[in-house]
Amino acid sequence: MSTITSNNTIQSTETDFLPLHGTDYVEFYVGNAKQAAHYYITAFGFQPLAYAGPETGMKDKVSYVVRQNKLTFMLTTPLRSGNEIADHIYKHGDGVKALALKVDDATAALAETTKRTAKKYMDVTRLKDEDGEVVMSGIHTYGDTVHLFIERNNYRGVFMPGFREWHNPYFKVPETGLQYVDHCVGNVGWNQMNPWVSFYQNVMGFRNILSFDDNDISTEYSALMSKVMSNGNGYVKFPINEPAEGKKKSQVEEYLDFYAGEGVQHVAMATNHIVETVMELRSRGVEFLQVPTTYYDDLLDRVGHIDEDLAPLKELGILVDRDNEGYLLQIFTKPVEDRPTLFFEIIQRKGAHSFGKGNFKALFEAIEREQEARGNL
């Protein structure tokens, strides 16, 4: 089966029972939030935004919030053992806990999804301070990952009640051009892709806009399958991966092994100038996967004319792919932790709506080289 593109008609938000306005923030459970925040600031160019902890009345955990344009990350760590956050970190290592989604009505979002069989994670919660009110609710999804629904129409503060503004006047780090969350990819277990596709279709009203099977995403040694789910207006996209049979262990199997279950594999962050962004990220020590330079020998024959010069793309290892709407440029970091689990994608879209099918073989061979070096292929 080759790539299947479903009907591209965008569902009207007027008939969408779960209208979403994009990603509000991504929350990571980490072993040391102070140091993790420092990493995302210095390496990726995020800016300090908000803090919550004992000083703000939150006694059992601390959270640092960093932001770059429309990208917001929350880094949360427990202050003691024997709780959900500590257990999550012990089992999974640092990883994504919550994909928080912007909604106009968090109460309705919870009601609409739970009546369609979603398992409730957070009841409707109203947080208030002198700057207004934030309303939250949430549901469980694959593994220990959750979706939070965030309603902040009536809030004027920096982030949300319970947080105070956080900055360091002596510590100024320039941004790197990252703009917003393009998509978040989840890895699920054997034969679990279609059940989770059904979950997003039936519970959240998403559409399956692209499908890839093991003929599309395979190398000599390993394979995986993937389906891309999109909400009605296209602002939120969640590709779902599952392993496929191969000669050796696939990247999804390695992830499931080291993460000890299903979870978010990578967050794709958009940029308007990928060459400048990647050059800056590399200068700050961010490590990227590298494909063989032969990938570029016939690149223009494969993708046609592009605006960018080929030399810097080759130097940086940036991949290019084209679909019927245009082309995209993308590159993937190595795992950002010691466990070979979470990584990031940097992507620039020049009209393309796809996800780089033409790059799959080169990309996954690069991943396999890293797996082999770790002894996990």
pLDDT digits (tens, 9 = 90+) for 47-84: 999 999 999 999 999 999 999 999 999 999 999 999 99
Q: What percent of the chain has pLDDT over 90?
A: 76
Question: How many whole angstroms separate alpha carbon 35 and alpha carbon 62?
Answer: 12
* Closest to 117 (Cα-Cα) out of 199, 186, 57: 199
pLDDT at 1 over 80: no
Beta strands of the chain (E only): which ranges?
4-5, 23-29, 47-52, 61-68, 71-78, 95-102, 120-129, 132-140, 146-151, 164-165, 178-187, 207-212, 223-230, 237-244, 263-271, 319-323, 326-332, 343-350
Residue 257 burial by CB count (10 A; 0-12/13-18/19+): exposed, middle or buried? middle
Strands 23-29 and 146-151: unpaired
Question: How many whole angstroms separate alpha carbon 28 and alpha carbon 32?
Answer: 11
Q: Could you say which architecture CATH assigns to the domain 23-165?
A: Roll (3.10)
Question: Per-domain residue ranges for the chain?
Answer: 23-165, 176-374
- Asked whether the beta carbons of 199 and 114 are under 8 A apart, the reply is no
Average pLDDT of 33-55? 97
Question: How many whole angstroms separate alpha carbon 332 and alpha carbon 318?
Answer: 9
- Rg over alpha carbons for the chain, rounded to the nearest Å, is 20
Angle between helices 360-374 and 251-259 (to 10 degrees): 50
pLDDT at 13 over 90: no
- Asked whether the beta carbons of 313 and 273 are under 8 A apart, the reply is no
pLDDT of residue 6: 39
Two domains, one topology: 23-165 and 176-374: yes
pLDDT at 12 over 50: no
- Asked whether the beta carbons of 50 and 145 are under 8 A apart, the reply is no
Kindly report which listed range (122-131, 143-152, 266-275, 288-297) carries the lowest average pLDDT score: 288-297
Angle at 147 between CA 141 and CA 151, to 5 degrees: 155
Three-state DSSP at 290 gives coil
Calculate the alpha carbon distances from 124 to 136, 138, 205, 286, 312 in Å.
6, 8, 20, 39, 49
Question: How many whole angstroms separate alpha carbon 236 and alpha carbon 20?
Answer: 7
Average pLDDT of 86-115? 98
Question: How many whole angstroms separate alpha carbon 59 and alpha carbon 99?
Answer: 23
Q: Could you say which architecture CATH assigns to the domain 176-374?
A: Roll (3.10)
